[in-house]
Chains A and B, each alone.
Chain A
């Protein structure tokens, strides 16, 4: 009898352990619909950014209040990875009821833009060939993996709501729907608060957006996706319904719908718009992305700005600041800084009113340098100088500039070229 009891205990322990081990393994091996969805999104991003020669992406969204469209947007992007060309067409209805549409084209050397409101074709030509990736894979970014972990944790038990149905040709349909009972209360509260703030934030008086104040909650979230036999997502549709009351107590059901499609894989043709007979404004683009300014000598010379104070409720010019750049060759910078005051305001002059400085532009820091200077009395001064090619100005900042400037002198570190 004693022996029998021991055996029974051991057998049941073994059976339990085996049962646990096998089902746990099966559970780990089984892929949830959520995993399949994630894999397919990743694969789609990878294929479109690395493998397909050309494809078309179609994204549309609509925001409806009780069935009436308030905002809508449609973007069609055609990408030709082989020739690094892309074309995009965007149409939509904005919050204040305006219809808009615009079109743009881009390849290695040109960017063309036009819109329905302004039928001029703006053409920008690049002297150097641009080396831009036409579509980059967002999952290759550094943070992607961490973000994925956070997303997994947030989705938590909702993972099981994604249902996969496999068709006979190998393509798959993924669907999921969540109603209010199934959405965890905390997620529902945070999401509805976020959406409420978002909607009410841009709701000015004329806007057609209802102003929700009471009983806001996420009523329903549904989604469906089609995955082709290769595992690439062909389309994904998501809908969310937010319910709430406005100040008058009227119930609003705001629905947000978004549809994303990938189509015409390897058969998309990107064509340059025909500019013949159209109004065209051309300009040649400068490349600001280089690590060095292309002709630094242009900064040699005088730069000026006004010294202004506020006196008796008015702005009064009391003098001028002058920056004289004597040397500039993308590495070494030298110059003088001086302040001249008008008669009657000379007592504003300080120790910093005249100084000579030198600076070295650090590698890859386009036009930006820390300088070191000496004042007339031999004191050391530090600061920063920045040559802005974009607006043709020089920024000159002395560290701790605020302290010696008493008497309401206005600080202005931006100097314009003195061309007279």
Chain B
């Protein structure tokens, strides 16, 4: 365990030193600021309320979870794998007395922590903006649902990251992985719209699964199915990615 902890710390340190994380934070804040400006504009221009204090974080989440969050997850993931493959720094990591499984897991854990951090940051700042600039519409129930929605979004994002990890292990070039991920992402989005009956097969649909936790009746069966789909595809992508990572020669 101590070995794994050291590897994880090492990965987090590497992640933290990258400019991408800073850019991700700045962009997330920009989304909140722009979103709030749009809402204020709509309010004074069209006489609509736009959003209340609790709806604002939900608006931010619905935008971010489909745009910049997957984008930066992809960038960070590609950096962590393809980047190290091409810089040959992977060799240095591998020479240390640690199994490849632990390195692989540590890398993924650090990515998940990045996603979690980004979500928490967005939650805190969008809530602040929501409460400062919007009419209060909060109730204990809706507040709890909002926080929960942010937290559960980590699951589909992790599956997405695992998918990109697999791609990063198949293709050598980071740019290729990036574009293939974006193409697959868009294709899944479109397919999910066209074949709404089969939309749960496309992993991008699950990005919106936080909506299920907003439903009054709490559709347990649907939540369980979506969770199992994500779990299944997560395990599948994780083991496929590890298989290739384990075989790889550096």
Provide the bound-state CA to CA distance between A21 and B188, in Å: 17
Chain B CB within 10 A, most for which of A12, A185, A217, A243 = A185
CB–CB A161/B239 < 8 A: no
Min Cβ gap B52→A in Å is 6
Determine if A28 and B212 form an interchain contact, defined as CB atoms under 8 angstroms apart: no
Interface segment out of the listed A66-74, A108-116, A175-183, A298-306: A175-183
A161 touches B215 (CB 8 A): yes
Whether B193 is near chain A, meaning CB under 8 Å from some CB there, is yes
B5 at interface by CB-CB < 8 Å? no
Interface-located stretch among B10-18, B89-97, B176-184, B240-248 = B240-248
Q: Is B234 an interface residue (CB 8 A)?
A: yes
Chain B residues, CB < 8 A from A24: 200-201, 229
Closest partner residue, chain A, to B101 (CB atom):
A5
Min distance, Cβ A387 to any Cβ of chain B, angstroms: 49
- Compute how far the CA of A217 lies from the CA of B49 in the bound complex, rounded to whole angstroms: 6
Contact B235 A13 (CB under 8 A): yes
User: Using an 8 Å CB-CB cutoff, how does the interface string of B190-234 with A read, 1 for contact, 0 for none?
Assistant: 000100111011000000100110111101011001101101111
Please report the total number of B residues contacting A with Cβ < 8 Å. 53
Asked whether A27 lies within 8 Å of B200 as measured between CB atoms, the reply is yes
Judged by a CB distance under 8 angstroms, whether A192 is at the interface is yes
Q: A214 on the interface (CB 8 Å rule)? A: yes
Report if B59 contacts A (CB, 8 A): yes
Q: Which of B54, B142, B239 contacts A9 (CB 8 A)?
A: B239
Which residues of the other chain, A, contact B234 by a CB distance below 8 angstroms? 16
Whole-angstrom distance between the alpha carbons of A18 and B229 in the complex? 10
A23 contacts B by Cβ under 8 Å = yes
| A9→B243 contact, CB < 8 A | yes
Question: How far does the Cβ of A84 sit from chain B's closest Cβ, in whole Å?
Answer: 38
**Other-chain contact of B46, A15, A153, A193 (Cβ < 8 Å):** A193
Residues 6-38 of A, flagged 1 when their CB comes within 8 A of B and 0 if not, give 100110110111111101101110101000000
B48 touches A27 (CB 8 A): no
In the bound assembly, the distance between CA atoms of A356 and B231 in angstroms comes to 83
Q: Is B232 a contact partner of A20 (Cβ separation < 8 A)?
A: yes
Indicate the member of A5, A23, A181 with the most B CB atoms within 10 Å: A181
Contact B50 A189 (CB under 8 A): yes
A5-B198 contact, Cβ under 8 Å, with A13-B240, A19-B232: no
Instruction: Please indicate the chain B residues that have their CB under 8 angstroms from the CB of A212 in the complex.
Output: 47
A5 to B200, CA, bound (A): 31
B235 touches A19 (CB 8 A): yes
Q: Is the CB of B214 within 8 A of A181?
A: yes
Q: Which of A12, A18, A21, A30 contacts B221 (CB 8 A)?
A: A30
Bound: A158/B59 CA distance, A: 15
Contact of B137 among A30, A32, A180 (CB under 8 A): A180
CB interface residues, B 43-58, toward A, < 8 Å: 43, 46-52, 54-55, 58
Residue A287 at the chain B interface, CB threshold 8 Å: no
A259-B201 Cα distance, complex, nearest whole Å = 37
| B62 part of interface (Cβ distance < 8 Å) | yes
B36 contacts chain A at the CB level, 8 A cutoff: no
- B43 to chain A: closest residue by CB: A215
Q: Which of B47, B235, B242 touches A214 (beta carbons < 8 Å)?
A: B47
| B232 engages A181 (CB within 8 Å) | no
Note all chain A residues with C-beta closer than 8 A to B46. 193, 196
Give the CA-CA distance A214 to B46 in the complex, in Å: 8
- Complex Cα–Cα for A24 and B205 (A): 12
Chain B CB within 10 Å, residue with most, of A26, A27, A32: A27
Q: A185-B58, A217-B48 are in contact. Are A20 and B233 (CB under 8 A)?
A: yes
In angstroms, Cα B196 to Cα A164, docked, is 20
**Is B236 at the interface (CB under 8 A from chain A)?**
yes
Closest to B39 in A: A185
B142, B214, B229, B236: the one within 8 Å of A27 (CB): B229
Q: Which residues of B contact A216 (CB under 8 A)?
A: 47-49
CA distance A62 to B78 in the complex (A): 58
Which residues does chain A contribute within 8 Å of B135, judged by CB atoms? 215
Complex-state Cα separation, A111 to B46, whole angstroms: 47
User: At the interface, yes or no: B34 with Cβ under 8 Å from chain A?
Assistant: no
Residue of B nearest to A185 (CB): B59
Q: Which residues of chain A are within 8 angstroms of B228 by Cβ–Cβ distance?
A: 19, 23
Assess the A17–B42 pair: CB atoms within 8 A: no
A23–B225 touching, CB < 8 Å: yes
Distance, CA A163 to CA B237, complexed state (A): 34
Report the separation of the CA atoms of residues A32 and B221 in the bound assembly, to the nearest whole angstrom: 11
A157-B58 Cα distance, complex, nearest whole Å: 14
CA of A32 to CA of B222 in the docked complex: distance in angstroms? 9
Chain B nearest Cβ from A186, distance in angstroms: 8
Residues of B within 8 A of A27 (CB): 200, 222, 225-226, 229
Q: How far is the CA of A217 from the CA of B51 in the complex (A)?
A: 8
B77 within 8 A of A: no
- A185 contact from B51, B200, B211, Cβ within 8 A: B51
Chain A residues positioned under 8 Å from B231 (CB to CB): 16, 19
A152 contacts B by Cβ under 8 Å: yes
Instruction: Decide yes or no whether A133 CB sits under 8 A from chain B.
Output: no
Q: Does B146 contact A (CB under 8 A)?
A: yes
Query: A9-B246, A192-B49 in contact; A18/B232 too (CB < 8 A)?
Result: yes
- Give Cα distance in the complex from A9 to B245, angstroms: 12
Tell me which residues across on chain B come within 8 A of A160, comparing CB atoms: 211-212, 215, 219, 222
CB distance from A254 to the nearest CB of B (A): 14
Determine whether B81 belongs to the interface, using a CB cutoff of 8 Å to chain A: no
B102 adjacent to chain A (CB < 8 Å): no
Q: List 12 A-B contacts (CB under 8 A).
A: A6-B243, A10-B239, A16-B234, A23-B229, A28-B198, A153-B193, A182-B214, A184-B62, A189-B48, A196-B47, A215-B49, A243-B49
Which A-B residue pairs are the 3 nearest by beta carbons?
Answer: A16-B235, A19-B232, A16-B236
Q: Which residues of A contact B (CB under 8 A)?
A: 5-6, 9-10, 12-13, 15-21, 23-24, 26-28, 30, 32, 149, 152-153, 156-158, 160-161, 163, 177, 179-182, 184-186, 188-189, 192-193, 196, 212-217, 243-244
Add 7 more A-B contacts to A5-B101, A16-B232 (CB < 8 A): A6-B243, A16-B238, A30-B221, A161-B216, A181-B58, A215-B135, A244-B47
